[in-house]
Amino acid sequence: MGMAMPACGIRLPSALVVSSGPATAVRFQSSPNCAERRDGLKPTLIVIHYTAMESAEAAIERLCDPQAEVSAHYLIAANGDVTQMVEEAARAWHAGAGEWCGLDDINSRSIGIELDNRGTHPFSAPQMDSLESLLRGIMGRWDIAPEGVIGHSDMAPGRKFDPGPHFDWARLARQGLAAPAGQGDAREHLDWPSFRTAAQAAGFTAAAPDEVLLEAVRFRFRPFASGPLSREDYSPLG
């Protein structure tokens, strides 16, 4: 599509995301669905999504459609191709309502990355390689800590389920690109108030029923776990 000026009026950077790993080429396709970040906020979070659409092209078309009123800063296709739609300094419309670590307006506090995936299958190796390179660049430019890399379901439990149980959070954590699971002691006594307290301390502060909160924590740290609250659900929050 070539380089373009985004509708937010901020010029996009050069077409390479440079990190400690190989540079990743970036294609630009401007989305009008963006604005200035509110209250002078800068990105301290990166929110990872899946598109839940049939193709990367269909997702990009929607994210650039003014009628849809949604967008993200980046989309990574299954083959690893990266498309940038909103300049990082601008506010994309990807997170919606939600909260993380007691903070709201996540759109003003974050950079959104969409992954071409329907949530029903693993994420491809080329896609994960590009994601890692992109994360390193963004985290370096904005001084974002690994704890600031979260999933959509982390900040909007029950409303959103992406990037889902197939996403390899442990792979990112091993490279310092996401927070690792904690090593807390398994609890002798299980109860919802103590679990909620532990989850909130780990960042899961958005309002949600107990079972929905448990589902969100498991998506992040214990994918495919099921059944009632268990001792193993506390450990990664420690």
Which H or E run includes 168? none
Helix axes 210-221, 192-201, angle to 10 degrees: 50
Q: Chain centroid to CA 133: how far?
A: 15
Q: Which residue has the higher pLDDT, 18 or 74?
A: 74
Contact 115, 49 (CB under 8 A): yes
pLDDT digit string, tens, across residues 167-187: 999 999 999 999 999 987 766
What is the per-residue pLDDT across 217-232, written as a single tens digit (0 to 9) for each? 999 999 999 999 999 9
Query: Rounded mean pLDDT of the chain?
Result: 90
How many CB atoms within 10 Å of residue 171?
Answer: 14
> How large a percentage of the chain has pLDDT more than 90?
85
Residue ranges of domains in the chain: 16-174, 192-237
Q: Give percent of the chain with pLDDT exceeding 70.
A: 89
Signed CA dihedral, 130, 99, 153, 39: sign only: negative
The pTM of the full predicted model, rounded to 2 decimals, is 0.91
For 16-174, CATH number?
3.40.80.10
pLDDT, position 119: 94
pLDDT of residue 185: 72
Q: Catalytic residues, which ones? A: 114
Tell me the pLDDT tens digit for each residue of 64-101: 999 999 999 999 999 999 999 999 999 999 999 999 99
